[in-house]
Structure 1
Amino acid sequence: MQKIYYTYTDEAPMLATHSFLPIVKAFAKTSGIEIVVKDISLAGRIIAAFNNLLPESQRVTDALQELSALAKQPGANIIKLPNISASVPQLKAAIAELREQGVMLPEYPDEPQTEAEADIRARYDSVKGSAVNPVLREGNSDRRAPQAVKEYAQKHPHSMGEWSAQSQTSVATMSAGDFFHNEKSVTFANANTLTIKHTAKDGTETVLKTGLEVVPGEILDATFMSVSALDDFLQENITRAQDARVLFSVHLKATMMKVSDPIIFGHVVRAYFRETFEKYGAELAAAGLNGENGYGALLDGLAELQNGAEIKAAFTTEAEKRCALAMVNSDRGITNLHVPSDVIVDASMPAMIRGGGKMWNAQGSEQDTLAVIPDSSYAGIYSTVIADCKQHGAYDPRTIGSVPNVGLMAKKAEEYGSHDKTFRMPSCGVVEVINKRGEVVLAHKVSRGDIWRACQTKDASVRDWVKLAVARARATSTPAIFWLDENRAHDAEIIKKVREYLAEHNTDGLDIQILDPASATQVSVTRMRQGKDTISVTGNVLRDYNTDLFPIIELGTSAKMLSVVPLLAGGGLYETGAGGSAPKHVAQLTAENHLRWDSLGEFMALAESLRYAGADVLAGALERATARFLNENKSPSRKTGELDNRGSHFWLARFWAEELAAQRECEKTAAHFAPIAAELVAQTEAIMRELIAPQGNPAQLGGYYRVNKQLTDDVMRPSITFNKIVASV
């Protein structure tokens, strides 16, 4: 029996799974396919990290490690839903919830004092940030909008804010001292074992990492951000925002860049509240309140301080005379600086661009914004789009072309910030990367507090990436641009490989270029306005940014993209869209029992997975059903009392059954589904009543990070009539 491995994750995607997975299992079983569920939720991963310290009754399968091994085997077939990339506040909240539920987990040690506490911290840190994707992505990414989705967006365009040539919105980024300007890169001809060492000015040596293996052809980068340059940059732009009377917002990736960006976020908070930290910094530092977990955590922590009310008043007073902050939630007073995981650059910048360059202010009105993106590596792509919108106005979803992506990510390629090679410098000195002969490969002079980081990119990953890019350009007759800057150390090494490996392929008649990211952006948006498609071939971080930026402009959301990862060993990983809006959806469900999460990405990924499993009849019928789903507008509504995620699953199941009953490829399958389709049609009115009836009342899930599965099943499967029909399949 063929197996499809289906991931159980977090928040809105997890809730949707409770509704959709029974349908998937029932339909797949008719073609002899078993759906195997693997729990890679944040809660599941936390518990797995402590299996050997927990009572046997509380242990769980380490599903992520099982899937990691599977992804390296030929024939793997994995459907991966969005999961939480946990910031420290999210991680602590999940730990607290699990402890309340009786799981005997230790507290998170902010400052480990013993070996045991260091071990606990290391286990928790292994779960933090983007801990899932690098493990499963044993291949490069092919991400695009399916034709049916693109056509729907053109026929039913989403709203776009108006742009004005007089808009004061702009991007601020560092011109020196950041990761881009300090980067060094080297390609290894032979295998080697490296050590990363910090030597202080007084000669004290600290080994930061040993046993770092590199293979022939592998690229190693090292860079650092000067925090003194960062602090100067932040003060300059806080003043700039105040003088221009625009909102101040910072856009980071404190989830995937789980080491570097929370540190940067702390610098932003301290820069904004400079006077308060100058006066009370020692007390705040002693209480562990350094701003890295956000302004919200600072305010919460003040309750434990004797003079907490006095310090809170100082924060409030300083905020009133500083530049206005962009708001995450104006009604609740949640600012851009409250929680580091609330404003993630790849989602927040496209949303601002789609909204006419405006963000919300404290009064609940839209206002022009200074978007602060400290590292300049990719800030230029957003500056270019903003300048294009000021000149030409908003993009028109009815007519614009598409910018699909081929992304380099196999074998943890370019995983800046998601690994154990990022460090905060303990003192002034030198950081060196040393090979096994004792030779210095790369070195940087650093100061106390600077953020130093390294990453690796394997030759096999680059070679496969180039192959995939050529294949997509050939298959679609679409120009492809490698977004690489020859003035950046890492990109210069990648460009050498791209040119070498392009020569291995027949590129006759293909339009393939290499351009720096800002230039590539300009070419892409110019062609997009002309209704033309352009493939963006990018590294890992840009893959993350582009697969939100362009889909949000083109489709209104990145959740409707098809994401296929052809695994290097054979097989496929099928991803179902982005989950950045998932927390808001959960909040609405618990308050009103209405889930507006759209599972369209899941429908498309499932069709690809079924086809790979050899179930062509099921896959083809699902694709036709998905097209009907779009054309008949059965996506979830935002409004309570109307069609939601559960209702959309019913319509997909009905259309799927009807398409299977009508197809002529397999008479046995058609005969099997004919009465099921007829019953779904006959019971549509009754089923919709049962699905909508519970809406408007609070929903009980028994948890946020680890729900009670029976309660959640009851919430997400409220139609007895529909459940009986699904069971009969």
Structure 2
Amino acid sequence: MAENATPDIVYTTVDEAPELASASLLPIIRSFAAAAGVTVGTRDISLAGRILAAFADTLPEAQRPSDDLAWLGDWVKTPEANVIKLPNISASVPQMVAAIRELQAKGYALPDYPEAPATDAEKAARAKYDAIKGSAVNPVLREGNSDRRAAIAVKKYAQANPHRMGDWTAESKTRVATMKGGDFFANEASATLDHAATAKIVLETAKGETVLKEAVSYPAGTVVDATFMSAAALDRFLEEEIAATKAEGTLFSLHMKATMMKVSDPIIFGHAVRTWLAPVFEKFGETLAGLGVNPNSGMGDLLDRVKDQPEIMAAIEAVRSERPPMYMVNSDRGITNLHVPSDVIIDASMPALIRAGGKGWGPDGKEHDTACVIPDSSYAPVYDETIRFFKEHGKLDPATAGTVQNIGLMAQKAEEYGSHPTTFEIPEDGTVKMILEDGSVLHSHEVKAGDIWRSASARKAPIEDWVNLAIDRQKAEGCRAIFWLDSSRAHDAELIAYVKPILEAKGVADKFEIMSPRDATRASLETITKGENTIAITGNVLRDYLTDLFPILELATSAKMLSIVKLMQGGGLFETGAGGSAPKHVQQLVEENHLRWDSLGEFCALGESFKFLADQRNNAKARVLGEAVDVATQGILDHDRSPSRKVGEPDNRDSHYWFARYWAEALAAQDSDTALAEHFAPLAKALAEGEEAILSELAAAQGKPAELGGYYRADPEKVTAVMRPSATLNAIIG
């Protein structure tokens, strides 16, 4: 299919392990879909693809890509949209720099990432790169609210085959540390606009007024927030927690979201690096600045820049010996919690630590109790209460646990905290004001140099859609449903003013509870411990956090969640799970030619996409395909055909063979569409008869290095050779 045509389904081109898996799975999907007259196209939302699209006007025509993210951004606002979205890189600065260097080495004339832009050209390049950083894709595509839950087959499998959980004891020293003042939670102001308005954000200082952002437009009914984190309060907090961790004898760990919150959290991360190495910065500050050291880029970048400075290296080692041991990303390779801002992402790192009984890996390669430092207190209570609960009651039993579903507010960039172009590091003391076009001041904060000020918003239509989606889900499930909203928080109070009237008008107020995140955490854990289910109805950030926390506890992974976004204009977006472990998967593939990425999330999304298409286009054959996908997915689980973690055992490619076989067998066996049954019967037979040859060919590929021709922009032919090594399977699929 020509990529400039509009396909029935778009399967996104992404990065790392999910994209490698696509090289094996997508040919199978396209072959099967064609039998129902369904076209499956691709659109590139990878980090490399987005970089090239941003600089397309400066590239020669032969290298010039289309702006696929912009195309998708328009398409998701139409009733025809049907997108299967795989996890893509939300880039930190180190990832951005690495991707740029790789593309430059491949012959793309891209400018370097300007750390300190001085010229107009550097400032323009920096603006383009900054627009790509962090969670740049999701706000564009998520033109609807989120419905995430464990697929029934996946949940049943997890209960029948419970994963290992670390033991919790009341004596555990693991704890959450968070700021008690001066943070985003403490300083938040919020208001709901009764009319459409345009605001400018200004910083008033003794020198005059600086406009930070012009013409920020909001429709009537928008909830607009503003807040800031005190840099001085943050530094005091970090100093205190480093000392407290040392006294307790636990690991020090920082848990941030430097990808989604691409402006605020890298700055906070940088404060942690600078505080950890305070004596080094005090003594060698000018030298470090001259070497281009930016604490926001992490300790790994810093160490690389000072490796030829023995005096500084000795000072760093002296500090390390005085500090508490640090939580490690990779003990064997000496990669610490503070090495790279995107290495420790709170929504993945905290659930993994909790699942392990509160243990983190230390520099000695052993597990230890851990101090979990989460500076902003807005959502830290969720993790704190979870740890308190398990200290009291012991670990969760996946064999008997119920499930926590999630309805998340995220449409039209709702609650994009810390990532919008309305987040600023304040250059000098003054007052930040949001001023409406009539001259009235919506929000005002006294700030100091170095403080982090931010604004975010949520529009009326997405909020109302979110509440109605929650009503529909509760009606379908009939279980406990909780709005995770804190009446004492400024933003949440504005949302509650929307929620209560809608529930009352629909006559369902008695079906829902409204609780603070801490209380809702306790209530949800009590509910699932009893084997019952509950629905968490949350804002955007909590949606992100909880759809990792509970699935990792219940299922051992968040990659197997059913994630449906009912787009507000009638289309559908089907997300396939998290990609936090993808880099490690790629590393193993390159070293051992074994890919342990589990495509179960892709299978779940695919089935829903086909069934949605059936309703959307009145295509009965698409429904048959989708229902057969569900049967095949159940087969993968029932027969334990998911990838193993160890080289020499079945991997991602084996699971795709079994998926294709079970899918073909289900289609051949169904009686809803005779033509499809007749079409797939010989295919099912060939896949069964070819089992020995196919599995032998797949096994033979393992155990030696794999050449991909790149990390961020791999060579398609090399990837195909690696991911489709079975000539027998390739011939059958065609």
User: Which amino acid is 2:700 matched to?
Assistant: A
> What secondary structure does 1:552 align onto?
helix
Which secondary structure state, in structure 1, belongs to the residue aligned with residue 587 of structure 2?
A: helix
Alpha-carbon distance between aligned partners in 1 of 2:324 and 2:386, rounded to the nearest angstrom:
25
**Residue in 1 that maps onto 2:302:** 298
Paired residues of 1:77 and 1:571 also in contact (CA < 8 A): yes
- CA shift, 1:34, in A, is 0.3
Q: Counterpart of 2:548?
A: 548
**1:589 lines up with 2:596 in the alignment:** no
Unaligned runs of 5+ in 2: 1-5, 615-621
* Structure 2 residue 219 is matched with structure 1 residue 215: yes
1:226 to 223, 230, 250: 230
Asked whether the 8 Å contact 2:172–2:358 carries over to 1, the reply is: yes
Indicate the residue corresponding to 1:19 in structure 2: 24
Measure the CA separation in 1 of the matches of 2:330 and 2:94: 18
Given that 2:264 and 2:419 are in contact with CA atoms closer than 8 Å, whether structure 1 keeps it comes out as no
For each residue in 1:623-658, what CA deviation from the matched residue of structure 2 results, as whole angstroms up to 9, or x when unmatched? 011111101000000010111000000000000000
What is the distance in 1 between the residues matched to 2:506 and 2:470? 11
The alpha-carbon deviation at position 276 of structure 1 amounts to: 1.1
Q: Tell me the equivalent position of 2:240.
A: 236
Deviation, 1:692, is 1.0
- C-alpha separation in 1, matches of 2:702 and 2:655: 15
Assess, with a 3 A threshold, how the Cα gap between structure 1 residues 724 and 504 changes in structure 2: closer, same or farther.
farther
- Structure 2 CA distance, aligned partners of 1:324 and 1:298? 19
- Decide which of 74, 97, 121 is 1:69's aligned counterpart: 74
- Once residues 282 and 459 of structure 1 are traced to their aligned partners in structure 2, the CA distance between those partners, rounded to angstroms, is 49
Rounded Cα–Cα distance in structure 1 between residues aligned with 2:244 and 2:498: 42
Inter-partner Cα distance in structure 1 for 2:207 and 2:423: 22
> 2:676 aligned with 1:675, yes or no?
no
SS at match of 1:394: coil
Which residue of structure 1 lines up, in the alignment, with residue 618 of structure 2?
Answer: none
Q: Partner residue of 1:267? A: 271
Kindly provide the CA deviation profile for residues 143-165 of structure 1, in whole angstroms up to 9, marking residues without a partner as x. Answer: 00011000000111111111111
Aligned to 1:535: 535
Where does 1:634-673 land on structure 2 (aligned, <5 Å)?
Answer: 634-673=641-680
Query: Cα deviations across residues 367-409 of structure 1 (Å, max 9, x unaligned)?
Result: 0000000000000000111011111111010001100100000
Structure 2 CA distance for aligned equivalents of residues 103 and 678 of structure 1: 47
Per the alignment, residue 605 of structure 2 pairs with 605
Q: Which among 143, 157, 166 is matched to residue 162 of structure 2?
A: 157
Q: Matches of residues 447-596 of structure 1 in structure 2 within 5 Å?
A: 447-507=448-508, 511-596=511-596
Asked if 1:195 is matched to 2:196, the reply is no
Find the aligned partners of 2:37 and 2:242 in 1 and give their Cα distance: 61
* 1:75-474 map, 5 Å: 75-200=80-205, 202-303=206-307, 308-474=309-475
Q: SS at 1:501's partner residue?
A: helix
Shift of the alpha carbon at 1:272? 1.0
Cα deviation, residue 283, structure 1 = 1.9
Letter in 2 for 1:611: K
Describe the superposition over 1:194-253 as per-residue Cα deviations: whole angstroms up to 9, x where unpaired.
1000011x2321100001001000011000000100000001000000000000000000
Contact 2:480 2:534 in 1 (8 A): yes
| Cα offset, 1:282, TM superposition | 2.3
Structure 2 contact 7–41 (Cα < 8 Å) conserved: no
1:619 matched to 2:626 = yes
Quote the offset at 1:303 in angstroms: 4.0
The one-letter amino acid of 1:581's match is S
CA distance in structure 2 between the partners assigned to 1:535 and 1:129 by the alignment: 28
Offset, 1:177:
0.1
Misfit runs of 4+, over 6 Å: none
Q: Counterpart amino acid of 1:287?
A: L
1:285 positional shift: 2.5
* Structure 2: distance between partners of 1:57 and 1:172: 53
CA distance in 2, matches of 1:341, 1:228: 24
d(CA) in 2 for partners of 1:59, 1:300: 33
Deviation at 1:281, TM superposition (A): 1.6
Give the secondary-structure state (helix, strand or coil) at the position aligned to 2:186: helix
SS in 2 for 1:113: coil
Further displaced range: 411-420 or 583-592 = 411-420
TM-score (norm 2): 0.98
- Aligned AA (2:14): T
Amino acid at match of 1:26: S
Write out per-residue CA displacement over residues 485-525 of structure 1, whole angstroms, 9 at most, x where no aligned residue.
011110010110111222332427x6211100000000000
Question: RMSD in angstroms over aligned alpha carbons?
Answer: 0.9
Matched positions, count: 722
Alpha-carbon distance in 1 for matches of 2:45, 2:662:
30
SS class of match (2:565)? strand
Cα displacement (A) at 1:616? 0.8
Q: 1:2 deviation in Å?
A: 6.4
Partner of 2:716: 709
Q: Deviations over 1:528-586 (max 9, x none)?
A: 11001110000000000000000000000000000000000001000000000000000
SS at match of 1:521: helix
SS at match of 2:404: coil
Confirm or deny: 8 A CA contact 1:270 1:290 kept in the other structure. Answer: no
Distance between the aligned counterparts of 2:294 and 2:65, measured in 1?
35
* Contact 1:2–1:613 (Cα < 8 Å) also in 2: no
* SS of aligned partner of 1:431: strand
Which of 53, 56, 59 lines up with 2:58 in the alignment?
53
Structure 1 letter corresponding to 2:341 = P
CA distance in 1, matches of 2:241, 2:466: 38
Structure 1 CA distance for aligned equivalents of residues 446 and 287 of structure 2 = 31
Q: Residue 19 of structure 2 aligns to which amino acid in structure 1?
A: M
2:340 match: secondary structure = coil
AA partner of residue 266 (structure 1): G
